[in-house]
Amino acid sequence: MKLAREGIPVTWELYSGFRSNQSFWDQYPSSGAVFLKADGSAYELGDTWIQADLAATLELIQDQGRDGFYKGKNAKMLADFMRANGGIITEEDLEKYEAVEREPVRGTYRGYEIVSMPPPSSGGVVIIEMLNILEGYDLASYGHNSAQYLHLLTESMRRSYADRAEYLGDPDFNESMPLDRLMDKDYAATLRASIDMDKASVSDENEYAGIYESEETTHYSVVDKDGNMVSVTYTLENGYGSRIVAEGAGYLLNNEMGDFNAVPGVTNRNGQIGTTPNLIEPEKRMLSSMSPTIVARDGKPVFAVGSPGGRTIINTTAQAILNLIDFDMNIAESVEAPRIHHQWLPDVTSFEGLGFSDDTLRLYEEKGHQVRARGEQGSVMGVYHDRDSDLFLGAADSRAGDGAVVGY
């Protein structure tokens, strides 16, 4: 509330985001009232950005808890705004909504405990499945980001993302999700047995695929003086969500509905998916890829990581974990190391542009993989507790414009 009421400086990241969305601020007066100055001009670098309406909404939540948002003044403002602009959310919808607290999923990897986000996020299940597959290989002997390591990493991604598409969705609507099997070591062994060490598998578009998922998300990790850790990922879907601010309330509306499967039964090589677990239904929560993860040893947290990046979040987080455990990197090295992404379909591996040698790419492609270059993938935020020295370490990915490590 203090930051919203008294204001924060407009950084280059905010300045760029405001400018790139100028057409939306002009289109939606309620958004322009927040992201433009009172006279309608654009904020400049270094200006103070004050969000008085947001501060008032936060104060309602502070004073009234859940009901400060889902009932009363805010609920009426939001429902009135929806009604005036062709939306369908009502005060009754808001009053019925309940946040659900779920048990995290848990796995193990080389003596470490992996604790991560459960469905309706796919992140934790897929990370644990991938790590179970890779645990059967001496990854360190291949060398970090060698062609052989990247081949095995890709094949584990391919199989785990296929299972993601077939099985995962809102647990309240998919009671028979085989989570225990997907995270089982024996099941991973059967998948591992199907991997050819020298040849890429083929992704079949007649089976499963992956829909587009925006890469604009936020993650932060926290450790306190006693070694307790929190790993938090949250999202509006696209950058600035729908770009529409609820009038008088000060917050952006999301556009998460795009994370549901669009057309029942229609799955194609372009990435559209029509499998049943994530089809849209009333009161159903959409499948996400958020993967806030805590890695523990002997029952105590060692490090916490996570990342934005839409569908790439899972692979970005998994690679940070592998960097720390298999390749003995420190938290900063694990966060900065170049990354790849494969998600079953489309059947192509994206590589961060400058992070891999031509020789590595050539050897990788010779195994039958298709490759494309991409820009930055994700932005990992991690904290690490070195229990031997009792040092607390943090790393903010340089890929994140306003990322930072801060101690209090």
**pLDDT, the chain, mean:** 94
Q: Which pLDDT belongs to residue 84?
A: 97
- In this prediction, residue 209 carries a pLDDT of 44
- Residues 73-91, mean pLDDT to the nearest whole number: 97
Query: Looking at 12-16, 203-207, 334-338, 402-406, which range is the least confident one?
Result: 203-207
Q: 294 - beta bridge partners?
A: 115, 304
Is the confidence at residue 270, as pLDDT, over 70? no
pLDDT value of position 381? 98
Question: So what's the pLDDT on residue 238?
Answer: 86
pLDDT of residue 237: 87
pLDDT at residue 156 above 80?
Answer: yes
* Residue located via tokens 């390591």: 149
| Domain coordinates in residue numbering, the chain | 2-96, 105-213+288-396
Question: How far does CA 265 lie from the centroid of its chain?
Answer: 26
- Nearest CA to 278 out of 398, 184, 204, 173 is that of 173
Closest to 368 (Cα-Cα) out of 342, 387, 405:
342
Distance, CA of 293 to CA of 230 (rounded, Å) = 9
Q: Mean pLDDT over residues 179-199, rounded?
A: 98
pLDDT at 207: 54
Q: Report pLDDT for 264.
A: 75
pLDDT tens digits along 303-358: 999 999 999 999 999 999 999 999 999 999 999 999 999 999 899 999 998 899 99
239 pLDDT band, cuts 50/70/90, is confident
Q: What is the pLDDT of residues 122-149, one digit of tens each?
A: 999 999 999 999 999 999 999 999 999 9
Least confident of 96-105, 255-264, 276-285: 255-264
Q: Indicate the pLDDT class of residue 266, thresholds 50, 70 and 90.
A: low
Q: What is the pTM of this model?
A: 0.94
% pLDDT > 90, the chain:
88
Instruction: Supply the pLDDT for residue 208.
Output: 47
Q: How confident is the model at residue 187 (pLDDT cuts 50, 70, 90)?
A: very high
User: What does the alpha-carbon distance between residue 149 and residue 339 come to, in Å, rounded to a whole number?
Assistant: 12
- Evaluate if residue 272 carries a pLDDT over 70: no
The predicted pLDDT at position 263 comes to 75
- Cα 27–Cα 30–Cα 31 angle in degrees, nearest 5: 65
Residue 261 confidence (pLDDT): 83
CB 212 within 8 A of CB 47: no
Query: Which of the residues are catalytic?
Result: 217
Fold of the domain built from segment(s) 105-213+288-396:
Serum Albumin; Chain A, Domain 1 (1.10.246)
pLDDT digits (tens, 9 = 90+) for 358-386: 999 999 999 999 999 999 999 999 999 99
Whether 192 shows a pLDDT value over 90: the answer reads: yes
The average pLDDT across 81-95 equals 96
Residues 6+ apart with CB under 8 A from 325: 109, 110, 112, 295
User: How much is the pLDDT for 379?
Assistant: 97
| Rounded distance between C-alpha atoms, residue 7 and residue 162, angstroms | 45
Q: List pLDDT tens digits, range 37-55.
A: 999 999 999 999 999 999 9
